[in-house]
Amino acid sequence: MLASVTSAIPIDRLAASTRRPDRVVGTHFMNPAPLRDSVEVVRAPRTSADTLQRTLDLLTAIGKTGIVVADGPGFVINRVLMLTVNEAAEVVGQGTADAATVDRVFQECLGHATGPLRTADLIGLDTVVDTLLVLLECTGDPRFRPGRTLRELVDAGRYGRKSGSGFHTYPRPAATAAT
């Protein structure tokens, strides 16, 4: 079996490069994976029932719950989340609200644990832009074109938590010792 952890590339595209496309499945773990109980399991058109069941059994064995979705660019999570992040970034860029207020609206009005911009900072803004570009390529839908605000932050090296700043500011990661 081949279980890809891609977050946007269609699983069937990956399966087409193998001699056993029936044994290819997507396992999209959410960030941070150790803290998330559920995994988006992507069944491509050629994924066999056995492969799907073995994947669900494995996830259960490691304490996760698989949620099965059909294959498509970005699956469910990133197909929706990336549009939300991109638009939330534009709201900040246009001055409608600052990042903290955007996140607060999502938390307090919709009950989200974190807002879309803190989520984007956790993922990495560079990864968000890359994911949007994959979705744009795969769908041809211009809604997935990364907005000006996201591009400017990434161009400035503001990737989110991993760089110490993105939409919000974080403690800088500790430098690793050279060996």
Any bridge partners for residue 165, and if so which? 160, 169
Whether 28 is a known active-site residue: answer: yes
Residues 6+ apart with CB under 8 A from 169: none
CA distance linking residue 4 with residue 108, whole number of Å: 34
Residue 2 backbone zone (phi > 0: left; psi -120 to 50: alpha; other: beta): beta
CA distance linking residue 129 with residue 40, whole number of Å: 21
Which residue in 6, 8, 28, 158 is the catalytic one?
28
80 CB burial (10 A radius; 0-12, 13-18, 19+): exposed
Q: Which residues are catalytically annotated?
A: 28
